[in-house]
Structure 1
Amino acid sequence: MPQPADTINLERLKALLGGVNRYGFDPETGGYNRPGFSKSDLDCRAWFAAQMEEDGLTVWKDGALNLFGRFGSKEGPCIMAGSHLDTVVNGGAYDGSLGACVALECVRTMKEAGLEPATAIEVVATSEEEGRFGGMLGSQAITGEVTPDWIDSAVDADGIKLTDAMRANGLIPEQVPDAVRPSGSIKAFLELHIEQGPILEQEKLPIGIVEEVSGVCYLELVLSGIANHSGTTPMHLRADAFAGLAEVSGTIGALIQDHGTDQSRITIGHVELSPNHPHTIPGKAVFSAILRDTSETVMVALKSRFLENATAIASRHGLKLETAERSWLSPLKLDAELAERMSALAERHGLPARRMPSGAGHDAQTMQRFCPSGLIFVPSRNGISHAPEEHSDWGDIEKGANLMLQALIDLSGATR
């Protein structure tokens, strides 16, 4: 089997990812906690910036806290490559961070091999991709999709405002819109990410080349009833918020079967009950509902039917229903020519790969609305992600990283 003429240094990549994962590690759970704009997130970014500076890259951050390291000419457009460093609460070691580390390792390999890009390469560590405040703040700021009104209204699940979280860390929310990049300044965007699903592992393939990405609708719902004594209130006289939530959850399977596709997903992932007490009927249930599909038409239909069901259930239980759409990311197809180019590079260098969709949202999805974007997957063990058990095999990572390297060499026109 042919091998790439230039290959990444796997041990160096392992050390780089290990350095990132010194930040936010929880020894009790084995998970990682670097939520966007937390201290661990900012400390990790400062460390990653220092690594790029040691490599001789031109390093800076923008008003949204996106971090960049430029290799090559200081003027003109770039090929951008990377991913995010933030995590969900108690997340895994690979999600996002691996892609940022692979991008930097590819640049290190190119520098070491004496390869000079005709078009500059920018390593990027985007900020707040995991949607603590809804959406993908970093990449949406780069593409000009973040408005002052959105920044002012964005809050996380604990009610903390984005503006307060930024100011607490010495950041200026009013500077986020200034992060937008000029049209034509990014010729292409490349991202490597773990699959977060089981397909590649099941098919024993090391690489996926993503063709399309599901859209994501983030709904927040509140069911309000009457908190009361669990022993003295007859069942037929209750306005039980949790009973309403449970019934809403129970409609999801049939809803997808009747109106969805094999790419449809609806998840109730965050729930708060109050009072949260064993002997009290819950008077309020606040919960999230995340809807996904690769078709926007299907997403719109699922959202409509889901809210219709929730409204009917609330009425049946004597509950008040409040709903809010916290974010909507439309599904889209990634650049077909770029996917074909990466497929050809994979075949040329003996790197087994398949074309596939992504059920999870990624920065590449946002960037595609700004420039041609490509997304490389490596397998996830048992399809697990967003959990301490998240794992990807280093043999697969090496192959995916070498495809990223060859794509960057090709797209940047690098020569010795």
Structure 2
Amino acid sequence: MKVELERIKSDILTLAEIGRNAADRGIYRMAFTDADIEGKRWLTNRIETAGLAASMDGAANVTATHAGTTNAPRVLVGSHIDTVPCAGALDGTLGVVVGLECLRRLHEEAISLKRTIELIAFSDEEGRFGGMFGSHSVCGLINPELLATMSDLDGVKLADEMSRHGYNPLAALDAARDPESIASYLELHIEQGPVLDHLKKPIGIVDEITGLFTWSVWFRGEANHAGTTPMEMRKDAFMGLADFAHEVPRILDENGSPRSRATIGKAQILPGAANTVPGLVEFSLDVRDTSEEVLAELSASFQKALSAIARRRGLMFEFQQKSYLKPVQCGGNIVEELTCQSERLGLDAHHMHSGAAHDAQIMGRMVPVGMIFVPSKGGQSHSPAEWTAWADIEAGANLMLNTLLSLADSE
């Protein structure tokens, strides 16, 4: 079976206009904004226009099903349609639109399968309110305290935004699924990186999804006059950061793996005056790997390095872990099936890990998961420049359709 590419094109380009900013051409469809709710209504309409039944759970996840002939655990396929500010047209959206197209084709051809296939468009994958709200809810990882306290960077509470649109926030507790009711979860996504584009490969088959931890780190020294304080008598907090930044590659080489990543993405120097020795530096540290053991070793190594630098520079240091996500291994049988189907379709696939978090990472805590990547032009994502060739989108969609057919008809 094959998808209808023109229908996928139309859906992607139409949805891209919901939340579009005319000035910068970016899409602003952040979770539970008016544009996001309009997107949910658009998706519901497209599902119903296809002759499928649409529904919404307590976390405002939009779903549709192609019913199977048995009550065997179902196969889920999906992603999300919320965006970061000033987003491109494909991140998340592609997986939902392709999932819908797969259900449409099965419905049009009246294909009978043993397992029900369910499309799910998760709420707030981009973490406006601090987490992947929709998939966390499905996995039973939401509680009343979280619902009452989750807020965005501007202090807007999730519960207030849900209530504003007529949703009962506490109903998200009822979105939790029984793991025994789900056989697997599949997601198609743009790579959001340069690997496939560089290799000129149309398909990536994900074998692992990276884990990560993020820290806020502080070096505390002593602010002093830039002209009167001798170099050897300074407690310069910024020099502590400079020393640590140079240590990062060494620590990755000695304690990491080829899949390790570490990034200092944000720093603040105080007092922040040109003629004052910095007395305080606060910076972020984002560390990723596909092995939980490697992440633990990197954590210990970074702490030792920070401690040694602080001691040498006469500083104090402290850190706070802001987030932690466990790595996820993709289901072995799903990876095998994706590999088999890509070979059958004549697609040159590259096995790779995902360096970004996705709803599949949360679902992987509960059920076997699989991911298909398609190339991102120039590796660009989270910007209006984000794009993927239509031919690559068609290849990924056909791989998803035929894999769903196989998995939904298995014992």
Give the letter for the 2:372 counterpart: I
Partner of 1:203: 199
Q: What displacement does 1:412 show? A: 2.3
Counterpart pick for 2:36 among 29, 41, 63 = 41
Give how far 1:150 is off: 4.4
Aligned to 2:19: 24
Aligned residues: 409
Q: Could you state the TM-score of these two structures normalised by the residue count of structure 1? A: 0.85
Structure 1 residue 98: deviation in Å? 0.6
Alignment of 1:386-401 (within 5 A): 386-401=382-397
User: Which structure 2 residue ranges, 5 or more long, are not aligned?
Assistant: none
Q: 2:48 aligns with which of 45, 50, 53?
A: 53
**1:270 to partner: Cα distance:** 4.2
Alpha-carbon contact 1:134-1:326 (below 8 Å) kept: no
- TM-score after normalising by structure 2: 0.86
* In 2: Cα distance, 1:164 partner to 1:313 partner: 45
* Residues in 2 aligned to 1:236 and 1:73: alpha-carbon distance in whole angstroms: 74
Residue 402 (structure 1) aligned with residue 398 (structure 2): yes
Instruction: Give the one of 354, 357, 363 matched to 2:359.
Output: 363
Is 1:124 the counterpart of 2:120? The answer is yes
Cα deviation for residue 48 of structure 1 reads 1.5
What's the secondary structure of 1:261's corresponding residue? coil
Structure 1 residues not aligned, in runs of 5+: 1-5
Distance across 2 between alignment mates of 1:316 and 1:161: 43
Worse-matched range after superposition: 105-114 or 228-237:
228-237
Tell me the distance in 1 between the aligned counterparts of 2:307 and 2:316.
9
Secondary structure of 2:77 counterpart: strand
**Residue 191 of structure 1: CA displacement?**
0.6
Rounded to whole Å, the distance in 2 between the matches of 1:166 and 1:389 is: 31
Structure 2 CA distance for aligned equivalents of residues 162 and 314 of structure 1: 39
Q: Which residue of 1 aligns with 2:245?
A: 249
In 2, the alpha carbon distance for the partners of 1:226 and 1:133 equals: 36
Question: 1:269 corresponds to which letter in structure 2?
Answer: G
Summarize the Cα distance change of 1:231–1:121 in structure 2 as closer, same or farther, 3 Å threshold. farther
Aligned to 1:67: 62
Please show how residues 139-150 of structure 1 align to structure 2 within 5 Å: 139-150=135-146
Matched residue SS, 2:136:
helix
Which residue of 2 is the match for residue 329 of structure 1?
Answer: 325
Q: Pick which of 364-373 and 272-281 moved more.
A: 272-281
CA distance in 1, matches of 2:240, 2:169: 38
The corresponding residue for 1:213 is 209
Residues 311-353 of structure 1: CA distance to partner in whole angstroms, max 9, x if unpaired? 5555666766553323221112111111111211222222332
Indicate whether 1:345 and 2:318 are aligned: no
Match 1:302 to one of 298, 319, 322: 298
1:135–1:328 CA contact under 8 A, matched in 2: no
Contact 2:70/2:115 (<8 A) preserved: no
1:310–1:33: structure 2 CA closer, same or farther, 3 Å change rule?
farther
Q: CA deviation at 1:151?
A: 4.4
Residue 397 (structure 1) shift = 0.8
User: 1:379-407 CA distances to partner (integer Å, 9 max, x unpaired)?
Assistant: 11222222332221111110110011111
- 1: distance between equivalents of 2:376 and 2:290? 21
Within the candidate set 186, 205, 209, 1:190 is matched to 186
TM-fit CA distance, 1:58 = 2.2
Are 1:134 and 1:218, in contact at CA under 8 Å, matched by a contact in 2? no
SS for the counterpart of 2:111 is coil
Distance 1:298 1:114 in 2: 48
Q: Tell me: CA distance 1:164–1:112, structure 2 relative to 1, closer, same or farther (3 Å).
A: same
Conserved 8 A contact 2:69-2:114: no
Residue aligned with 1:251, SS: helix
- Aligned Cα root-mean-square deviation (Å): 3.2
Q: Aligned partners of 1:411, 1:312: CA distance in 2, in Å?
A: 53
Secondary structure at 1:103's aligned position in 2? Answer: helix
- State yes or no: 1:82 paired with 2:87: no
Contact 2:65 2:103 (8 Å CA) reproduced: no
